[in-house]
Amino acid sequence: MKKLTTTISLVVMLAIGAFAQNSRQVQDAVRSLNSKLDDIEQSFEKQMQSNSAPQGQIDALNDDIRNLRDSVADLDNNIQRHRENRSDVQKMVESAQRLNDVMFDVASNRQMERDWQSARDQVDRIAHEYGVVTKWDEGAGTVNGGYPASSGSSNDPVYSGSSGDPAPSKNRPAVRPMPPVPADHDSNSNTLSVGLSGTYQLDPRASENIDDIVHTANVTDDQQQDLRDKLEAPDQIALDIRGSQVTLATSKGDPVTFTADGRDKTQNANGRTIRLRATISGDTLTVASLGGETDFNINFTSISGGRALKVSRRITTDYLKQTVIAESLYNKTDGVAHLDIG
């Protein structure tokens, strides 16, 4: 595994590799989605040359494709900057759901339907990485996308008859969706976790002396420097926690966003399978890695009524006979996470 300058940097780099929504997989899915949207537009243009379709349907499809492309572009841009979050993905999903509401009424050839199914698969793939639920059932785009939801009564103009089946309106063509794709992820709260969230400054006097810990570890000079690098605390930490979504930045590393859902993520490094896990319990965020050259467990705990942060680092590596523990204390300087401290 790549040598890292601090344990917090280790957290960030591992998060980028595994917690950060498997960003390479997400970027692959984004590219595939854009490619499928290109195919859909080409198929639609060919279809329009051979068949006449109501202008309202044509406009609705073009608008929805453009909106989906915009939301995908926003997500991709934020992924490149490691600033993506669930709201970016939710926006993309809602755009896709609205497009789904019109796609199968407009599409009159199987190739176009297959292209859209493939595009939906990529949307599902991206949403899964961020714990966002996709709903492709009837009218999901109308309800989730901010359009008025109908009561389904016989007096409602968008419903016809007693069956409650949607009927075409001048704003939305008739819905002919495919069956919903099952999802096992619950959506998480987007409420700011005030206790942990904020910007923090290291208090050296209240923190353990890393040199003292290293000198008592009974290791060689080279190993001492490696251990010091792993234990050294950054001067500043910023945490933005919304539900299970965590954005972490330090004065030694760029911001990274990951999901603290208690699930193991795996990655391979130097022939080893590393298991990573992030969890939030009360006012404590825990990030752990097992199976690599260095195992670590780091707790970020809000203390003093949310005015301070205690960071506990437990390190086990090949040259240590026992686990080394170091604690650092930080004072909260702002209740808002300033993620540009790196």
Structural contact between residues 299 and 311, judged by C-beta atoms closer than 8 angstroms: yes
pLDDT of amino acid 139: 55
Closest CA to 144 of 133, 159, 157: 133
> Which pLDDT band, with edges at 50, 70 and 90, does 138 fall under?
low
Round the average pLDDT of the chain to a whole number and report it.
74
Half-sphere exposure of 148 (CA within 13 A, CB side): 8
What token pair was written down for 26? 């997400």
pLDDT of amino acid 205: 92
Q: Which of 2-11, 52-61, 221-230, 310-319 has the lowest mean pLDDT?
A: 2-11
Q: Output 76 or 331, whichever has higher pLDDT.
A: 331
Burial zone of 162 (CB within 10 Å; 0-12 exposed, 13-18 middle, 19+ buried)? exposed
Q: What is the DSSP string of 187-240?
A: PPP--B-TTT-EEEEE-GGGSPPHHHHHHTS---HHHHHHHHHHHPPPSEEEEE
Question: Average pLDDT of 55-77?
Answer: 84
- pLDDT digit string, tens, across residues 80-90: 766 666 778 88
- pLDDT digit string, tens, across residues 198-226: 999 999 999 999 999 998 888 888 888 88
- Phi, psi torsion values for 3, nearest 5 degrees: -70, 135
Residue 287 has pLDDT above 50, yes or no: yes
pTM above 0.85, yes or no: no
- pLDDT digit string, tens, across residues 140-188: 553 333 333 333 333 332 322 333 333 333 333 333 333 333 333 333 4
**CA 101 – CA 103 distance, rounded (Å):** 6
Q: Output 98 or 258, whichever has higher pLDDT.
A: 98
Structural contact between residues 292 and 272, judged by C-beta atoms closer than 8 angstroms: yes
pLDDT of amino acid 107: 62
Structural contact between residues 332 and 200, judged by C-beta atoms closer than 8 angstroms: yes
Closest CA to 58 of 105, 17, 23, 5: 105
Q: Output 28 or 18, whichever has higher pLDDT.
A: 28
> Which pLDDT band, with edges at 50, 70 and 90, does 284 fall under?
very high
Residue 308 has pLDDT above 80, yes or no: yes
| Beta strand ranges found along 45-177 (DSSP E) | none
